[in-house]
Amino acid sequence: MMPRRSRRSSGARPRPLPLAPGMTVALAAPAGSFPSDRTEKIRRLFEEKGFRVVIGRHVTGRDRYLAGSDADRAVDLIRALTDPSVDAVFAIRGGYGSSRLLPRLPFGSFPEKPKIFCGYSDITFLHAALGALTGWITFHGPNAIEFADDPIVFEETLAYLSGSRPLEWHLSDEQILQEGKASGIVAGGNLTCFSHLMGTPYAPSLEGALLLLEDKAEPTYRVDRMLMHLKAAGVFHRIGGIIGGTFTDCGDPDEIRMLLREYSAPRSIPVVLGLPFGHGARNHVLPLGARFTLDTSKGTLTCAEVPWASR
């Protein structure tokens, strides 16, 4: 049975409460495996900030390159997303494996009141499906394993998710590839993952969207091939603009710039590249499904609606 698209995907979306001490956060491992000692370090970081922490039963599991079997990883994620006592869910790591869970997730049974869901890279599959099939606003941001490696990443992520850090970014001239202004919901994430969503029921609505794209360690010709796939799927004729994050270790940066210009050139939409989203030195939090305005004349990317519910 094919999952049904949320009727909220093109209208007003339900919003989670901002993160605050006293809330309960869940750690889940929907994708790749990781060193088991990281879990306890992540737990301590949250607990020291006053959060209660729930850890999935199977996060230390192993199945080849995955953090346990598909069934075990799905059970942990479903529990975290449906448990009414949990306020936020953090993916521990990306890597590979999230797409294998999509047919196992009961999107129609997830609560209408959303909770914070944060992660990136391979977690793009889950962001897209939650947005398309539940209408949730989710948060493209660091995976929790990075908190254990860099406390600054942890502090920055909490600041964004608590609502204390503005969701606004200023553009330099070199980041602007094509001038323009557009407002729309943000969709996308990792280019490799997002391109594999095309033609599936898990792909989000892209009409007028601001498309976030980032990637790591993909040769330039593969970036070209994936952008060509998006073009063939009609993506560039539907979106309102492109928010380019970091393309880390993806060959010559000038060639990446050239490719984004080439594929967006037929339409006068704003295109920027090099914002702090993705696998670069800093990976800021960007709400997916929230409405933003990209205005190159002002040199800003700004949130046009509060992505949080009122307390």
Residue 170 designated active-site = no
Instruction: Assign 194 to helix, strand or coil.
Output: helix
Residue ranges of domains in the chain: 24-161, 168-303
**Contact residues for 42 (Cβ-Cβ < 8 A; gap 6+):** 27, 53, 90, 92, 144, 145, 147, 148
Give the CATH fold of the 168-303 domain. Glucose Oxidase; domain 1 (3.50.30)
**279 noted as active-site residue:** yes
Percentage of the residues of the chain whose pLDDT score is greater than 90: 93
Count other Cβ atoms within 10 Å, centred on residue 52.
Answer: 15
pLDDT digits (tens, 9 = 90+) for 258-285: 999 999 998 999 999 999 999 999 999 9
Q: Is 214 a catalytic residue?
A: yes
The length of the chain in residues reads 311
Least Cα distance to 149 among 37, 285, 274, 27 occurs for 37
For residue 10, count other CB atoms closer than 10 A to its CB: 13
Q: Residues 121, 146, 196, 264: which is the catalytic one?
A: 121
- Region of residue 197 (left: phi > 0; alpha: psi -120 to 50; beta: else): alpha
Contact 271, 295 (CB under 8 A): no
pLDDT in tens, 95-137: 999 999 999 999 999 999 999 999 999 999 999 999 999 999 9
Partners of residue 189 on adjacent β-strands? 213
Confidence of residue 36 (pLDDT cuts 50, 70, 90): confident
Per-residue pLDDT tens over the stretch 150-159: 999 999 999 9
Query: Comparing 24-161 with 168-303, is the CATH topology the same?
Result: no
Q: How many angstroms separate the most distant Cα atoms in the chain?
A: 51
CATH architecture of 24-161: 3-Layer(aba) Sandwich (3.40)
Annotated catalytic residue, options 140, 196, 279, 284 = 279
